[in-house]
Amino acid sequence: MIRAEKLTKRFGDITAVDGLDFEIQVGQIVGFLGPNGAGKTTTMRMLTAYLPADQGRAVVMDLDVAEHPLEVRRRLGYLPENNPLHENLEVTDALHFVGRLRGLYDDKARTERVKAVVKTCGLGGVAGRKTGELSKGYRQRLGLAQAIIHDPDVLVLDEPTSGLDPNQVHEVRDLIRELKKEKTLLLSTHILSEVQAVCDRVIILNAGRIAADGTPDELSGSLQNKNRLHLSLKGPRDTVRSALASIPGASSVAGPAAWGKVSDAFVVESEASVDLREEVFRLASSKGWPIMHLSIEQLSLEEVFRKLTGSAEAGPGEGAS
Amino acid sequence: MTPVLQVRAVLALAQREFKGYFESPAAYVAMVVFYLVSGYLFTATLFLSNMATISGLAEAMPLLLTFLVPALTMGLLSEELKSGTFETLATLPLEDWDIALGKFLGFCGVHLVTVAGLAFYPVLLRLLAAPGAGLDWGEASGILLGLLLMGLMYGAIGLFASSLSRSQVVSFVIAFLFCFIFFMAGNLARFAPGAASTLMEFVGVDSHLDTLAKGVLDTRDLLYFASITFAFLYLTVVRLQSRRL
Ligand SMILES: Nc1ncnc2c1ncn2[C@@H]1O[C@H](COP(=O)(O)OP(=O)(O)O)[C@@H](O)[C@H]1O
Ligand SMILES: [Mg+2]
């Protein structure tokens, strides 16, 4: 559906996008995650045939972007960074305008489409307002409405929730979740909670390269070099402790100590490749100690992101997820 | 792959641009200035010479257009570049030619309406003048056609200037300088030596306006306006394409 092959873009000395390789399948919703300047926007601009690639190529729906730029743009919906809008147009006029430029010449059919996207994007209440007078949340909805006016199969959204307050972020995310049901979707963000909230897959970009690629869970898992088991067994503490330490593969045991809501929690560490849960179960059942709690600690995506990009900028999500 | 103009998309852009002019004070202000000055020139000649002619318009209107057209075109592309909406346009299924031409035609519409309004003067003369003091229709329509073509040429220059900068003011200044060169070249021609003089005469807009104002329709003059207009439209497209690098 979307494929990048050694995609490269330079601006003078800066290599903004450095030999990207990835493929996005039909129906996937993929998040480009990366600090500012990572090359997210530049990559999207190459996918949408706005910027030509210096090297490599981009393929959208089996069409080479460099060879068939218009055809690619016809099939793809794009929300550029910062959601630029024609300020002096009314909301419906803006949609009609983009619709006509997208080849929806038939007045009746276009009016139908405008109605449909106004409904999908919840713009009914502001349909007659000037774009320039809209709140940020509504502006974003209008940007999305413009991007889907022609009902594209592929949507590319550059930072669709940046600059919104938490409620608006929530609304726009709901809208994106609604859209993703039928579309292949690539969105970029520098907010971590966003990809966790809406994406099937995350591609972490850093300095124009892919730093990691996987589901949010995989990424959190793959970067741990240790597995940490948090567990609580109902039994004599000291015996439990030494029994845990004697499990083959357990490298260290700490506790018991309070851990979250669990009062007597032990932390058993092992190599990342070793899963001790079954051993723990066997031990507990042979000794007759009921398991009160058992969980594996995963690095949060945020920690993964920090590790990969060495960025201090990535704070916790800027909004509710 | 040969790019074919997407006529309906171009017209949609042109229509939008045309409407946009009348949603802001820009077009009105320009028109008020245009008609005030032309009205003054018209009546002044009328009463001074007591002749049924609009030749007074041919005197100062070209200079006025040198200011007004850049003012009307300065925002055409610079605004889109500044606000980022150019990226929206440029990622729609449009060629850069579609965008440039759509914008240009939007301006052409406004200019056409404005110049058409000048037809009021010869019609008025026709109604007022004594039957014997016949109005020279050839001269009158030549003058109007000259102003029309000159404005379109300036419009293409202004569009190009507007593609050069995100700032409307900068775009205006660039457009004005270009237009002024074309305006002055003819006037300065007589101070230049030999061949240079002939060249300046030809490059300058004056000589071509003069022929038209005599009611003479010469293909060389039409070609002059057409080729310079086209050249600046072409430069605009080249510029838009280079923005994508
Ligand atoms: N038009 C441009 N001219 C020069 N440098 C650019 C241009 N666009 C982007 N860059 C540079 O390319 C790098 C990647 O930018 P960008 O793709 O916007 O990153 P992101 O969207 O991830 O923040 C940055 O260093 C940026 O300064
Ligand atoms: Mg960006």
Domain boundaries along the sequence of chain B: 3-244
Nearest residue of chain A to residue B22 (CA atoms): A88
Are B146 and B58 a contacting pair, CB within 8 Å?
A: yes
Q: Which of A101, A142, A148 to mutate to test the interface with B (most CBs of B within 10 A)?
A: A101
Cβ–Cβ gap B87/A88 under 8 Å: no
Q: What is the pLDDT along chain B (245 residues), one digit of tens a residue?
A: 445 788 999 999 999 999 999 988 888 998 999 999 998 888 888 788 777 778 888 888 899 999 999 999 999 999 999 999 999 999 999 999 999 999 999 999 999 999 999 988 888 888 877 665 667 888 889 999 999 999 999 999 999 999 999 999 999 999 999 999 999 998 888 888 888 888 888 899 989 998 998 888 899 999 999 999 999 999 999 999 987 75
C-alpha of residue A319 to centroid of ligand 2, in Å: 19
Q: Tell me which residue has tokens 């100690």.
A: A289
C-alpha of residue A247 to centroid of ligand 2, in Å: 49
Nearest residue of chain A to residue B4 (CA atoms): A70
Cβ–Cβ gap B8/A105 under 8 Å: yes
Q: Which of B15, B77, B91 to mutate to test the interface with A (most CBs of A within 10 A)?
A: B91
C-alpha of residue A37 to centroid of ligand 1, in Å: 5
The length of chain B in residues reads 245
> How does A158-197 read in b/e, with b if 16+ C-beta sit within 10 Å?
bbbbbebeeebbbbbbebbeebbeebbbbbbbbbbbbbbb
Distances in Å between the Cα of B95 and the Cα atoms of B71, B77, B102, B161, B238 are 26, 15, 11, 19, 12
Which residues in B have their CB inside 8 Å of a CB on A? 1, 6, 8-9, 12-13, 16, 20, 23-24, 83-95, 244-245
Nearest partner of A41 among A73, A69, A9, A13, judged by Cα: A9
Q: Which residues pair with A186 in a beta bridge?
A: A30, A156
Q: What is the pLDDT along chain A (321 residues), one digit of tens a residue?
A: 899 999 999 999 999 999 999 999 998 999 999 888 999 999 999 999 999 999 999 999 999 999 999 999 999 999 999 999 999 999 999 999 999 999 999 999 999 999 999 999 999 999 999 999 999 999 999 999 999 999 999 999 999 988 888 888 888 888 888 887 778 999 998 877 788 888 999 999 999 999 889 888 777 666 656 777 788 878 787 888 888 888 887 777 777 766 665 567 788 877 767 777 888 888 888 888 888 888 877 666 666 777 777 654 433 433 333
Q: Which residue from A85, A102, A146 is facing B93, i.e. has the nearest CB?
A: A102
CA-angle at A227, arms to A222 and A233, nearest 5°: 145
Other beta carbons less than 10 A from residue B152's beta carbon = 21
Predicted confidence at residue A318, as pLDDT, reads 37
Render pLDDT for A121-133 as a digit per residue (tens, 0 to 9). 999 999 999 999 9
Cα–Cα dist A184/A195, whole Å: 15
Are A142 and A131 a contacting pair, CB within 8 Å?
A: yes
